[in-house]
Each structure stands twice: as C-alpha cells, then as structure tokens.
Structure 1
Amino acid sequence: MLVRDYLMRNREIWPERIAYISETARLGWGEVADRSSRLAAALQGLGIGKGDVVASMSYDSHEVVELWYACSLIGAIRAGINPRYAPAEVEHLLTDSNARVLLVEGGDCEQTFDRVKAGPADLTVIGFGRHQRTYDYEQVLASAIGDPVLPVLGVDDILALSYTTGTTGLPKGALWRQGGVIESLVKSWMQTGVQPDDVYLHCLPAAGVPVCWLTHNVVNGSRVVIQRKFSAAGALELIEAERVTSVGWVPTMMLDVLSELAATPRDISSLRLVVYGTAPATPALVRQASQALGCQMQQWYGSTEGTLGCYAILSWEDHREALNGKPEILSSSGRPTLHCEVRILDDDLQPVEPGQAGNICVRSATLMAGYHNRPEETAAVLRDGWLMTGDLGILDSDGYLRIVDRKNFMIITGSYNVYPIVVENVLADHRSVHELCVFGIPDERWGEAVCAVVVPAADVTDHDALRAELVTLARDRLAKFEVPKRIDFVDELPRGTTGKLLKRLVRDEYWEKKDIV
C-alpha cells in the first residue's frame, strides 16, 4: 500500500472520524480525502502530471496536509519551502526543483515570495489565507471538475523533494520514494506505540522532515492537531483543550514549555508521550521535563536522507533506567531501530575497531533515492547501499549509539541545521572582511549558536560598526536561524604547516571556555 491507498481506506471506514484540527477547520477523514481529491483534479487541470513538482510555502495548516495527499494521489512531487528562508533561497528551491505550481500563504510568506527575483517561467501561484494572488485555493477546489485520474504508481516513484542545507552553500533536495515514506511512517511510528485513538500535537515546521510527523496518522486513522506556529502557551492550551496524548518537540521547545507551565499551570494529564530530537537535550533538561510533564519520553535520531526513518531511538525504558542510576545513557542517541541497520565504518566502508569512532552509516528501505540534480553528492553519501550520514559516532558494547562529532562542522541551532560555509560565503562578500571562519558555540537555549570569527581588513578601525554591517548583510541574504548570534574579531587565524585554516582550534577554544551566553 502507498500513501494514497491508506487515505482512500480511511475515507471508506472512518469518514466521520476527525483526522485534522487546524486553526480554521476540523476535518474528518472523508472530508480530507475529498478535498485532497478535488485539489488533485485541479492540479491535473493545470497540467500537473506524474513527476511534476508542486511546491508549498506556508506555515502549517490543513492546506499543507491536503497538498501532500493530492500529490500522493496523482504522482506529483511535493517540495516544501521553509517560510523562514531568505528570498534567494526560495528562488533556488523553485528553480532547482523546476516547480510548476506554488501554494503560498498570504502574509509573511507571500511577502517573501514577492521579493524573489526569478524562478520557473511557467510557475502557477495559488494563494490561501489573506493573499493577493490571482488563483485562490478554495476557489480552485470549488472549480475542480470530476475525480483525478490516478496513474500507476510503485514504491520507487518519487513522492517528495525535501530540501536540506548543503555544504555547497545552497539547499539540496532529498528525493523521497513512495515506498520509503510508507516504510518510515509505519515502522518509525510503530515503535512509539501510537494507537488509533491517540491525539498528536504537531508543532514542527512541515516544510521538511516534519511533514511525515504531520501525516503519520494516515496509517492508523488517529488524530493530529496542527499548531500553525509554535508557542509554548499555545501548545499547552491545545494539549489541555484537545486532550492531546502525544507531541513532538525539539529541546528548545521543551525549555519554553517547562517555563510556561511553571508560570501558568495547565491540565496536561492526557499527555502520554513526548518525542524529542533534531538536537541534543541535556540530561538535566530530560530530568526536568520528565518530572514536570509526567509522561513517557523518547529521543529520535535520524536525518532528511532517511525520510524521517529514524536510525536510533532512546526508548522510555532507556530513559527510566537512566533516571534511576545510569545517567550516561542520556548522552547516547539510543539503539538502532527495527528497520535500520546501523554500523560504524571507516571511509572505505570497513568496520572500525570496537569502541572506536567512525562514520555512522545506515542501511534501510527508508533511504532517499538520492539528491535531486546532484549525482556527485549522491554518490558520496550513498555507497553500496549505505548512507554516509556525515556524523561520527561509536556503538558501545550495550548497543547504544553515541554521536561524537559532525563532519563539516554542521551546526544544530534549535531544530535547524546550519552549515558554516553558507554563512562564510555571505559574510566574505563584505569588503572589510579579510578572512573568517564560522562554527557553533554553546548556547543554553538553542544548544548551539552561530558564531563568526573575523579577521578584518587592515583599514578597519570601528569593530562595532563592522559587526552591525555584517549582521545586516546576513539578515538580508540568510535565513533567520543562519544569522550569527556572535561576531568576534581577531588579528589572525591559526593555520597548519600546509597553510590550512585550523578551524577546530578556534572552535575548541570557545567550547573550553563554556562562558557563551
């Protein structure tokens, strides 16, 4: 069965069961399927067929859900665009994907799109909410004629392009297969213990991987409550009002929720499970959350290239053992999942010595088909059936996976990945920057913060003025989460005997100080 098969099954057997609750609608499975089918028919009326890309740029809503299912019906490829992306990044995604249709939300998203200078020549834009586009989403659905024509689809057909920031400085699209999505939805969520009567609160931006969190309920008919944009107070209100039983957060969200809950107590007794991931959570935070929330907790480790198909899970049993005398377990990412084979290999795909660090490599039916339009980068990470995750880790004698470093100095700030070269390429354009390096530094709230260490040009005398100009430059050309939170100036950067910049030495000095606020 593919995604569309599960959707049609739910329409038949649970037409009245509430599937999604958004800010503006409460939709049963029958209505979700009907609206998605009308959208699919409308897209075909616009010339969209199997393999054509349909993009969306919005905060989370039931329209995002309907577009996902519409693409699954007709074999179109859904590409999500993070609403926090800068116009240049939006332009790249539209051009790289060769999107034929863009669904855009009025307000901030539409304003960002209006600043895009170029894109596919034949792009049709459909607006929803309070927008200024010619095509209106609800009118498009209302004018759809007949049912969509369902093409033959197989497990290797592409359902989605999920973009992730690449080391070349531009987002790259992971091609998700129809079969990989279902493998991920069924087997990842099976291991959470989610049941058909569960109510899941969705708080994470569904432009990328979290779209699988948003639509996981198609496999068991459970309910998803959609929070358009995360706020701790709003999340707690929804948990109380909708009797939410499970939720997915990143550590910074948990911090906000705990602070809000302490200030304004809520009835969250319905909450059974909190799944957290995308960035490390400190043992202290886990203990605090476990006590305050009074529910089970799981940590997931995965990546975009795995179609959410989590590679390792730190189970509730692991958490209990850690909280009852084995705190070292909380420094791990858990044990490999049922559907993923995880090994620690060297650069030649040979096993490293037990207890030694090496490349975290994964083999699974959830793995992407490759990167869109990037054969060389695909070949570098998909090798002999293995995904080279880019993370370095250790599998200990008890089977726990411990991440010890990240290749290419990738920064995880909140729930977002930032590659230093992206930021470096922008800041280096400033005429007063002689040399620089960018890396992550400790941040109590975000886990890591983006830091730039700059060697200014010889004629620079006012560091404060240059710092302000660099921040302005970054805000104009980068996503908000990529803008440096700290910019320091030095006379020179350390180099090795070959002249190579020793970024690790600079970064390690900041981590050793542990005085970053």
Structure 2
Amino acid sequence: MTTSEQTRVTTGLWNIAAAEPDRTAVVDPDGTEVGYGQLAAKADAYARGLQELGLETGDVIVVQQPNGHELLAAYFAAIQSGLYVVMVNWHLVGHEIAYIVADSGAKALLAHERFGEAARIAADEAGLPAEGRFAVGSIEGFRPVGELGTGGEGRPARRTAGSPMLYTSGTTGKPKGVRRPLTGNDPDEVPAASSWFFGIFGLKPFDDHVHLCGSPLYHTAVLNFASISIQLGHKVVLMDRWDPEEMLRLIERHRVTHSHMVPTQFRRLLALPDEVRGRYDLSSLRNMIHGAAPCPPEVKRRMLEWWGPVVTDYYAATEGGGTVISGEEWLRKPGSVGLPWPGSVVKILDDDGNELPPNQPGAVYMKMGSSTFEYHKDKAKTQKNRVGELFTLGDVGYLDEDGYLFLHDRKNDMIISGGVNIYPAEIENELVMHPKVADVAVFGVPHEDWGEEIKAVVQPAEGVSPGEELTAELLEYARARLAKFKLPKSIDYLDELPRDPNGKLYKRKLRDPYWEGRERAI
C-alpha cells in the first residue's frame, strides 16, 4: 500500500483492524509481529471478560506488565469499554502496588509472572477478590488472562471511551491518581486531541511511520506515544530493556521514524565508540522527541550534530499543557524548552500569584484549553497547585521576550544559601560533562550560618575510583565554568544514583538523610 493510499484508511485500532487485519501493529521485544486484527481481537476478548465479571463504566483496572502486546491489549480493552486503566510501575514493591490498587478502587489486576510475587502481595494486601486476579503466565492464586472473554466473540456489549488513570511518581509522598472525566465518546474514533498532539511534532497518520518504544509503558508519555502511534497506523517496535547499540540496530532494521527519549539515553548513545555509532543507517529518523528530565545543553548540541535537526524537546505535564521546540529553534534559543502548544497557556507567577515580566524567574504555571483534572481523593493537593485555572508542577523558570520558556529547576530543589537562590540543574549540567562523571545530583544540605550549602553526589564513570583526588579534579573543573557561589562545598560518591527507567532522578532519596531531624529552608 502506497503512502497516498494509506492516508485514505480510517484511523483507529478497530477501523484499521477491519480494513487491514494483517498490517503490523506491534513488534514485541522478542521480534514477534502482531497484526492489527490480532491486537484488536485480544482487546475485545479482555473487554468482554471484564464486563462479564461485572465491571461497569468508570470502574478501574490495574496493569502490572512489561512492554509487550499483552499490555497494549489490556490498555485498549479498557479504552473501548469505559474503564479507567492504571499502568503500575513494576519497580514498586508489593506494598506500594497494594496502595495503588486500593486507592484507585481497582476491580481487577492484570499482572505478568515476571512480577508474580509483588502482584500476589499487592492483591492480598489490597483485598482484591480472587475473580479479579489475572496473570500473563503463571502466578499463584491468579487466573490465566487468556480466560477473559472465552465464552463469547466479537466486540464487548458496552463500548464507550475509557481513559488512563495516571499516578504521579510519589517522590514527595504517596502517589496521587490523576483522574479525568470520561467523555462518553465512540472508542472507534481517535480523539481529536491525539491527532492534534502528534501534529505538534509533525507526525501524520500512516505516512510510513514506525515508532520505537524504548522505555517502560507505565510512563505517561511513553504510553501516550505508543498507543497514539497504533491508533494512527504507525507500527510500534517495543524494547524490553533499553540498550544504546540495540536501539541503533532496531532503527536500521525497522526504518524507525520517531521515538520518545530521555537525556540519559542520549548520554549513553554518545558514549558509544565512534565506530559503533557510525555502523548503523539512521537516515529514516524524522523526529526523536525527548522530555521527562532536563537535557544538558552540551548533550543536546552533540545529538543535533550527530542526528541533525530531528531532535525535538518538549515540556509537559500529566495534568495537561506544555511547550515544544524543534532542533533548529533550539540552536537559536539554546537551553529553551520552547513555545506553548497551540491552545496551551504558560505564565510565570510570583508567590502572590502575580504575573511576572519577561526574563524574570518565578513559578511556571500552565493550562490546556478547557481541560480539567483532579487528584484522586486529594482535593487539597488539587487546589494547592492551582491559581485560578492555571496549575503548576513546582518548576521555576522564565519566559523570554519572544515567549520561549526556560526552566531553572524545581522549586523544591532550589538551594537558598545566604539568601541567594541557586539552581542545582545549572551545576549538574556542567559537572555531568566531565568524562569521569557518569551521573550527578546537586542539592542543598544544612549549614548553620547560610541556611544551606551546596552538596554534589557523583556516580563515577566506569573504572574511575572515587576519592579526594577525583573531588579536587571535579572542583577545579567546576571553577572554570561556574561562579564561586555556585561551587559545591563537598562531593560524595555513590555506585549508582536512584533514577527510574525513564531517567527521572529521585533526588529526595539522596537529600533526605542530610536533613534528618532538620527543617529545610523551603
């Protein structure tokens, strides 16, 4: 089928499945290709089975599975039958998963045997009935997920659009679910917002697109990019565990056009030997999109030199709204995360909620059209993060005279030393470029006179020994690049910093021990 013919096919999983059942929708991590017809049929069976269990519109299911077409089938089962679906972080332990199962009010848990022990503990602790426990593979006390919907065929009796229910990472306490009102729309129709969102990045339906998914699908953005790609007729290639050279191999093998990445992956790609990086044909790339964590400017610049202007940055929130900047724009506005999306509003406010002028830093507030949300069972948090219709993620930044957003750091990460505001991200961006540094985190620790002083925690590069000699070398390196008041007063070392698989640093886990029994300045 030619590109022009493809554009005439109606978008949407079930529409494509009816027109082209053998068209590849998903390539599993083991290389197995799954057609649209097969994926839709499995989503139908799961939806029928969940309805047979008595699940009604607005009920919740939790999915605890690795990347694979089984996870996507469960997702689309919920999306077509009016259910909320929570994709749980499978790095959590059973007790933590039990909290999410109970807090969301889930009626079913669809788990994978790889995480069987945690799933069993979670189901038991949350009091989930036996009839709501399903497993891909074998888990004690769980029914095979393949039993769902075996008593019938075709689409489920009740079809209405469901929704993901997304839980925040919980780095500052218990995670909170972001629950949006159900639309009541026809699940065969791709939401206009999905096509619009991909349009921001120039990603059209079909158009010979191939999406590479290298991060866990429990992440909001990762799930959005994979599921929308399927809805728009893009083949989705899944990785189980990300590896830099394997990514390059898959790009060449499948002629990948777009992906969603994080800066940590960029750094590992750049660390490959030149002969490895030059071994693969990457000419198919059209838009490699990154977000989730700040990207050091030098890393971004080197990726643009290697891949060309196909590297796009964006800043967004689970709650809605965001900005975007192309590679070409970024070279004109280095360090920026871009202009607001069409329909999105971004403002910089002071502590009293007053709007600040260009180039003056303050709290970043956003909204997306008339989009609404609430934190599940947490009205106080919903209101705390809002000023009128605007909400904040706690980030600090400024808008320049052209309306481009520049981020400094999260407000909670900002260091106040001797009354001066210091942004750790600026220091991290410099130190991480030292060849003996694999990863770095900077934060404030208690100081009797200044309130806080700057602490750096470094993960040394492979083969590098931590110690006084390395500390002296890193501080000398920093002195040539940072003002004196921004220099770390001390450096500690860890074998590995606590990051989730999507690159997000759990800085609180590093910072809290230093503040035990003390009250932070902010």
Give the TM-score range, shorter chain.
Answer: 0.7 to 0.9
The one-character-per-residue Cα deviations of 1:158-188 (angstroms, maximum 9, x if unpaired) are 6121111347511111114556993542222
Check whether the contact 1:452–1:486 (CA below 8 A) recurs between aligned residues. no
Partner Cα separation in structure 2 for residue 30 and residue 315 of structure 1: 35
List alignment gaps of at least 5 residues for structure 2: 1-9, 416-423, 448-493
- Residue 502 of structure 1 corresponds to which residue in structure 2? 521
Aligned pairs for 1:398-417 within 5 A: 398-409=402-413
- Residue 134 of structure 1 corresponds to which residue in structure 2? 142
Counterpart among 86, 99, 106 of residue 99 in structure 1: 106
The one-character-per-residue Cα deviations of 1:423-450 (angstroms, maximum 9, x if unpaired) are xxxxxxxxxxxxxxxx998372776538
Q: Which amino acid aligns with 1:314?
A: I
- Residue 428 of structure 1 corresponds to which residue in structure 2? none
The one-character-per-residue Cα deviations of 1:82-136 (angstroms, maximum 9, x if unpaired) are 01123332121111111111111112x2232244461133262211146555311
Aligned pairs for 1:202-281 within 5 A: 202-209=213-220, 210-260=222-272, 262=274, 264=276, 265-281=279-295
Check whether the contact 1:126–1:135 (CA below 8 A) recurs between aligned residues. yes
Matched residue SS, 2:166:
strand
The one-character-per-residue Cα deviations of 1:26-85 (angstroms, maximum 9, x if unpaired) are 222222222211110011112222111100112211111111111111101101110112
Counterpart among 87, 96, 103 of residue 89 in structure 1: 96
Return the offset for 1:362: 1.4
- Residue 345 of structure 2 corresponds to which residue in structure 1? 341
Check whether the contact 1:55–1:81 (CA below 8 A) recurs between aligned residues. yes
Matched residue SS, 2:391:
strand
- Residue 422 of structure 1 corresponds to which residue in structure 2? none
Counterpart among 42, 55, 73 of residue 48 in structure 1: 55
Check whether the contact 1:258–1:292 (CA below 8 A) recurs between aligned residues. no
Matched residue SS, 1:215:
helix
Aligned pairs for 1:89-168 within 5 A: 89-107=96-114, 109-116=115-122, 118-122=125-129, 124-129=132-137, 131-132=139-140, 134-140=142-148, 142-151=150-159, 159-166=163-170
- Residue 317 of structure 2 corresponds to which residue in structure 1? 303
The structure-2 alpha-carbon separation of the partners of 1:28 and 1:178, relative to structure 1 and needing over 3 Å to count, comes to farther
Check whether the contact 2:337–2:405 (CA below 8 A) recurs between aligned residues. yes
Check whether the contact 1:300–1:312 (CA below 8 A) recurs between aligned residues. yes
List alignment gaps of at least 5 residues for structure 1: 412-438, 456-469, 504-517
TM-score by length of 1: 0.74
Aligned pairs for 1:452-467 within 5 A: none
The one-character-per-residue Cα deviations of 1:260-311 (angstroms, maximum 9, x if unpaired) are 36352222222222111111112211122122234511001012212xx5x1
Identity %: 27
Partner Cα separation in structure 2 for residue 201 and residue 354 of structure 1: 38
Counterpart among 21, 27, 33 of residue 40 in structure 2: 33
- Residue 191 of structure 2 corresponds to which residue in structure 1? 182
Q: Which amino acid aligns with 2:324?
A: I
Q: Which amino acid aligns with 2:134?
A: I
- Residue 514 of structure 1 corresponds to which residue in structure 2? none
TM-score by length of 2: 0.74
Partner Cα separation in structure 1 for residue 289 and residue 69 of structure 2: 22
Check whether the contact 1:59–1:229 (CA below 8 A) recurs between aligned residues. no
Return the offset for 1:483: 8.4
- Residue 23 of structure 2 corresponds to which residue in structure 1? 17
Partner Cα separation in structure 2 for residue 385 and residue 150 of structure 1: 34
Counterpart among 177, 181, 187 of residue 173 in structure 1: 177
Which segment is superposed worse, 87-96 or 139-148?
Answer: 139-148
Which segment is superposed worse, 37-46 or 19-28?
Answer: 19-28
The structure-2 alpha-carbon separation of the partners of 1:200 and 1:379, relative to structure 1 and needing over 3 Å to count, comes to same
Return the offset for 1:486: 5.9
Asked which structure has the greater RCO (Cα within 8 Å, sep 6+), the reply is 1
Check whether the contact 1:54–1:102 (CA below 8 A) recurs between aligned residues. yes
